[in-house]
Amino acid sequence: MTVNSADLLEIRGIKKSFDTNVVLKGIDLSVKTGEVHVLLGENGAGKSTLIKILTGVYPKDDGEIIWNGNPVELNNPQDAIHLGISTIYQELNNIQQLKVYENIFLGREVNKRRILSYINKKFMRNEAVRCLNELGQNGNELVNMEVGKLGMGQQQLVEIAKAIALDAKLIIMDEPTSSLSGKEVEQLYKVIDLLKQRNVAIIFITHKLEEIKRIGDRVTILRDGYMIKTLPVKTTEPDDWIELMVGRSLSEKYPKQKFKYGNEGFRVENIMVEGATEPVSFSIHYGEIVGIAGLVGAGRTELVRAIFGADPKSKGKIYIDGKEITIKSPKDAINAGIALITEDRKNEGLLLDQPLDFNITMASLRNYINKKFRLLNSKIIKKDAENYINELQVKTDSVDLHARFLSGGNQQKVVIAKWLCTNAKVFMFDEPTRGIDVGAKVEVYRLMNELVEAGNIVLMISSELPEILGMCDRVLVMNEGKITANIPIEEATQENIMKAATGV
């Protein structure tokens, strides 16, 4: 391969293994100055590992990294930073209690000359303001604020400003829009445009295909540790990318199926969540998937948590098949056959340091007790877990693997398996496909279909409008703790959902 003089970064033949697990099998990639280069691939394709090699966190086993035409070795994160590579991770790295300028200069606090260890605040503030202004922000307004008090979008901008202060030439962004509101996402796109004008290159990792179309220049697709192809974004389509990503053609992104509309299976009447101003009521029939759309902070998660008994509710009645159920704790909900698949699987759904069979049977242990000795039947536990692993096609060698070692999509499947194991009838999904790849998403959708077909109730909270429009039969919209719209799918559009979500 000839070296293109406009190439800022070139990677050749990068290989990496962990014990016997070969994660990267020879990656070739190039990034031009000032381009937004998207990295696309299923979970487990090797994106995170590649990034960690580029930022000096992991050493590579083989291959070359060429920066501005010179081969370099990245032995630790400092090497990468000195070169001019900065990373914005999904879980932000700010110190919440410190001010914006303190975060921007974290670890590199500047001392006034001649005065020992007296920090030169004025200099740092001015620098911070300059960097923030370059990103189109009002630097003076932000510079002294406590980072913890800023919104997610602004916190992310602080991190980008930090990268500017470090004179970054390449900024790697790992799924930066997954926790941002619509406005914040637009703001980020504008900032990216500004960065491009400054000739800063960006490696952008995302699962959102529309996003790639919006800001990407080129997209490189990884699959199973191989680099498949690098394509120009303008002249290619998401379907092409998906095909290369998944290795098979996906005829349906959203495998919607129509089922027979049945009786009412689940009803919630006048639930008052703590801090809400009005009670909420809705019902779900057999045969339909109901979605709840809305902005971040609309109160959707609070609603389902209150239904589930995880948070207290001040009043409200819950009916399954017309019979009223008293729910005062998650245990009551589970006994009644309700399942809550939470939005944060790592912190609320899984025990990362326990094996898969433990995780899968965690909520239904009482079904595995040997009557004679009151002891758990570990053989049956293992067998059931293996059945679920196979049924849901979780990528693992055995059920003894600790949950920590699975990719995001597979972890989500384990959480779903946990709830299937409780023989639930009412499934409440909260952002079920967040942070998982296209292939796994389809599997989750198919699962929802199977659940409905088998006579279960399915409710889905989602902030991805395409997902709502693609999979639901009816859309509830929430805004500030109230249901503001109940739209059958034939009449639902992005516009009327957004209108109800923003209260306009």
Partner 1 sequence: MSQVLEQKTVEETKVFKQSQLSLKKYLSKFGTLLALFLLFVFFSLSSEKFLTVDNLMNIVNQASINALLSLGMLLAILTAGIDLSVGSMLALSSMLMAVVTVNIGMHPILGIITSLGVGGLFGLVNGLLLTKLHLPHPFISTMGTQFIGRGLALIVTGAAPIAGLPLLIQFFGTAEIGPIPFSFLLVLVVYIFMHIFLSNTKTGRHIYAVGGNKEAARLSGINVDRVLITVYTISGLMAGLAGIIMSGRVNSAFPLAGLQYETDAIAAVIIGGASFFGGVGTVWGTAIGVMIIAVLRNGLNLLNMSADLQMAVIGAVIIGAVYVDVLRQRKRKKNKN
Is 316 strand, coil or helix? Answer: strand
Pick 288 or 384: Cβ nearer partner 1: 384
Least separation, in Å, of the C-beta of 300 and partner 1?
16
Using CB under 8 A as the binding rule, whether residue 423 contacts partner 1 is answered as no
Place of tokens 């292939």: 439
Calculate ∠ Cα 480-482-488, nearest 5°: 120
Contacts (CB under 8 A) with partner 1, residues 100-139: none
Shortest spacing between CB 422 and partner 1, in angstroms: 8
Size of the site for partner 1 (CB under 8 A): 42
Per-residue x/- mask for partner 1, residues 330 to 369, rule CB under 8 A? xx-xxx----x-x----xxxxxxxx---x---xx-xx--x
Please give the sequence-ordered ranges of beta strands (E in DSSP) within 380-455, or none if there are none: 426-430
Residue from 296, 325, 376, 485 binding partner 1 (CB under 8 A): 376
Report CA torsion sign: 50, 56, 57, 61.
Answer: positive
In the complex with partner 1, which residue's Cβ is closer, 296 or 362?
Answer: 362
For 111-115, the CB contacts below 8 A with 24+ separation are: none
> Closest CB to partner 1 among 330 and 466?
330
With the CA atoms of 250, 254, 258 and 259 taken in that order, what torsion angle do they form, in degrees rounded to the nearest 10?
100
CA geometry: angle 498, 500, 502, nearest 5 deg: 65
Q: What is the distance between the alpha carbons of residues 263 and 392, in angstroms, rounded to a whole number?
A: 28
Q: Based on CB atoms, which residue is closest to partner 1, 357 or 443?
A: 357
The answer to whether the CB of 154 falls within 8 A of the CB of 188 is no
The backbone torsions φ and ψ at residue 264, rounded to the nearest 5 degrees and listed phi first, read -70, 130
User: Please, which of residues 380-409 interact with partner 1 by CB under 8 A?
Assistant: 397-398, 404-405
78 or 335: CB nearest partner 1: 335
Would you say the C-alpha torsion 51, 55, 58, 60 has a positive or negative sign?
Answer: positive
Smallest distance, Å, CB 427 to partner 1?
Answer: 14
Selected binder of partner 1 within 8, 39, 43, 48 (CB under 8 A): 48
Determine the 3-state secondary structure of 329 from DSSP: coil
Q: Is 310 in the site for partner 1 (CB under 8 A)?
A: yes
Q: How far is the CB of 355 from partner 1 (least distance, A)?
A: 11
Shortest gap between Cβ of 398 and partner 1 (angstroms)? 7
Q: Answer for the pair 185, 207: CB distance below 8 angstroms, yes or no.
A: no
Q: In what order do the strands lie in the sheet with 7-18?
A: 21-32, 7-18, 62-67, 70-72
Q: Which range of residues in 136-144, 241-249, 374-382, 386-394 is near partner 1 by CB under 8 A?
A: 374-382
Query: With binding defined as CB under 8 A, does residue 306 bind partner 1?
Result: no
Of 454, 48, 418, 470, the residue nearest 252 (C-alpha): 470
9, 23, 100, 124: which one binds partner 1 (CB under 8 A): 23
Among 12, 15, 25, 52, binds partner 1 (CB under 8 A): 52
Residue 346 C-beta: closest distance to partner 1, Å = 9
Determine the straight-line distance between the first and last CA of the chain, rounded to whole angstroms: 55
Q: Exactly one of 140, 270, 314, 329 binds partner 1 (CB under 8 A); which one?
A: 329
Query: 271: which 2 tokens?
Result: 């639930």
**Residues near partner 1, by CB under 8 A:** 18-20, 23, 48-49, 52, 58, 308, 310, 329-331, 333-335, 340, 342, 347-354, 358, 362-363, 365-366, 369, 374-376, 378, 397-398, 404-405, 418, 422
